[in-house]
Amino acid sequence: MKAFLAAIEPTGQTCADCAVRQFSVCAALDTAEMQEFVHFGRHVQFAACETVFAEEELTTSFYSLLAGVMRLYKLLPDGRRQIVGFSLPGDFLGMSTSGRNNFSADAIGSVEVCRFAKAAFLRFAEDRPHLLHRINELAVRELSQARDHMVLLGRRSAEEKVATFLINWRDRLARQAEPSATLSLPMSRQDIADYLGLTIETVSRTFTKLERDGVIEIIQGGIRLLDPARAEALTAA
Amino acid sequence: MKAFLAAIEPTGQTCADCAVRQFSVCAALDTAEMQEFVHFGRHVQFAACETVFAEEELTTSFYSLLAGVMRLYKLLPDGRRQIVGFSLPGDFLGMSTSGRNNFSADAIGSVEVCRFAKAAFLRFAEDRPHLLHRINELAVRELSQARDHMVLLGRRSAEEKVATFLINWRDRLARQAEPSATLSLPMSRQDIADYLGLTIETVSRTFTKLERDGVIEIIQGGIRLLDPARAEALTAA
DNA sequence: ATTGGCGATTGATACAGATCAAATCCGGCG
DNA sequence: CGCCGGATTTGATCTGTATCAATCGCCAAT
């Protein structure tokens, strides 16, 4: 599978050869600023299933995901879980108004992040409108995705949910690497269920149904989209 | 009911006596900036059920809600609707990355907004980091609310949904006016259903059940929270 | 090769909430 | 005052998804 999903390949230590630069917050920085900026980002690795930060914890860092996939989720007191998103390389994490994280994040597979001290980062951004503008752009984009996800959670059937998830995942991967009919799904069925507001059994049954119908083929660690057009039709976009 | 819900009272025409100033974007502006800023905001009224802007329309304005309540929603091609939020005075609307609205907004009851030309507003904000920071703060706060709402839509039962809605609504109203056990609910049952990912019948039955259980009393245009503690317990926070 | 264990799949059944249908409430208007 | 029409409530029934319970498949350790 792709290197960015498994975090196999070493990532450069300087911003200059950063693989995700043009997708990340840093895209807003010019060369001179980058010189300065490089000093407060530190690369950190996380092993599969390690928690990068937890809900309610004080936010002391921002993170830019370099390689790997993360799940972002919230828990109810009784243990019910809602995954509010999956992060891919280039995503920026840690913004909050309250000073505490409003969700938890952990690694799916191994992950590499660039970690910034929050205070230093904010001081740096303070008088750089283009950087603020970039941060805002990322926040507003996420907000738009969040609203799309609300529609999915509140108003779509199980089959529509699964089809929508597969199509969106394909589109996100296509932004990272070559578009392909073969989709790597590094997250578990339980993760998918918690993302879609379903149970693991319903997700499994729906995958099986889509396979029976010739829409997908279930393969090790992912699926193959046999009939993308039909899958898109099933999303009731 | 409260003036800000019904937009009965005339709202001042200058920023100086703006009722929502300290809650809105404008809170970030100093007196000098306000002098300049006042020139590109225009007060506009909308009657009950009028559409302020529609999804997919080009975004030409930003809006700061002055009085009244709005519903923000997305539609699926077959007419299913998901309300992604209700706006109260002080809320800022119109941010988008694509240049098009990613949801529709219409007035519930009559509404008054302060409308800004998008281009002029952006030019004004461009080199004012404190304003950009304020806009970002509002976006991040909304993002946090959006994630809370995902948990509700994906993982809560009908009763938990309704209880959560009532408690959240009470808390939002309390930020606008005196806290009170009597809640005005200007939106219809159908709106509530589309906000919670339920049907109108289920919402109605759940209200009735809460009333039978002595948690609320259903009154004209709203409810009375007879047992706030029990209601909070039902939210499964 | 054999076993243990975990994630995924499959099957049987239950139930929360949807759907279909009717009754009731209530404000506006002749 | 009485009638009309939309919103809401209530009732009866249906169904999609959850729940409960095996079973399967596959990798890793023995």
Residue boundaries of the structural domains of chain B:
3-153, 156-234
Residues in B closer than 8 angstroms to A196, CB to CB, are 154
Q: Which residues contact B67 (CB under 8 A, 6 or more apart)?
A: B3, B4, B5, B6, B7, B9, B11, B19, B89, B111, B112
Q: What is the mean pLDDT of residues B168-196?
A: 97
Residue A3: pLDDT band with limits 50, 70, 90: very low
Residue A225 near residue A170, CB atoms below 8 Å:
yes
**Average model confidence (pLDDT) for chain A?**
93
- Please tell me which residue of chain B has the smallest CA distance to A233: B77
Cα–Cα distance, A160 to A156 (Å, whole number): 6
- Tens-digit pLDDT profile for residues B51-98: 999 999 999 999 999 999 999 999 999 999 999 999 999 999 999 999
pLDDT tens-digit series, residues A12-34? 567 888 889 999 999 999 988 98
Q: Does residue B1 register a pLDDT over 70?
A: no
Q: Which residues contact A235 (CB under 8 A, 6 or more apart)?
A: A160, A163, A164, A167
| pLDDT higher than 80, residue B8 | no
Distance CA B148, CA B160 (A): 13
Select from 3.30.450.70, 1.20.140.10, 3.30.450.40, 1.10.10.10 the CATH code of A157-234: 1.10.10.10
Which pLDDT value is given to residue A68? 97
How far is Cα B212 from Cα B85, in angstroms, rounded to an integer? Answer: 28
At how many degrees (to 10) do helices B129-155 and B118-126 cross? Answer: 120
- B127-145 pLDDT, tens digit each: 999 999 999 999 999 999 9
The answer to whether A150 contacts B150, with C-beta atoms less than 8 Å apart, is yes
Contacts of B141 in chain A (CB under 8 A): 97
Strand D proximal to A157 Cβ, under 7 A = yes
Query: What class, spelled out in words, does domain B3-153 have in CATH?
Result: mainly beta
Q: Which amino acid is at B42?
A: R
Strand C nucleotides within 7 Å of a protein CB: 7-12, 16-21, 27
Q: How far is the CA of B70 from the C1' of D13 (A)?
A: 36
Interface touch B151/A78, C-beta < 8 Å: no
pLDDT band for position A178 (cuts 50, 70, 90): very high
Instruction: Identify the contact set of chain B against chain A, taking CB-CB distances under 8 A.
Output: 74, 76-78, 80-82, 84, 95-98, 102-103, 126-129, 132-133, 135-137, 139-144, 146-151, 153-156, 194, 196-197, 236-237
CA A223, CA B45: separation in Å to the nearest integer?
52
CATH number, span B156-234:
1.10.10.10
**Percent of chain A whose predicted confidence (pLDDT) is above 70:** 95
Indicate whether A8 pLDDT > 50.
Answer: no
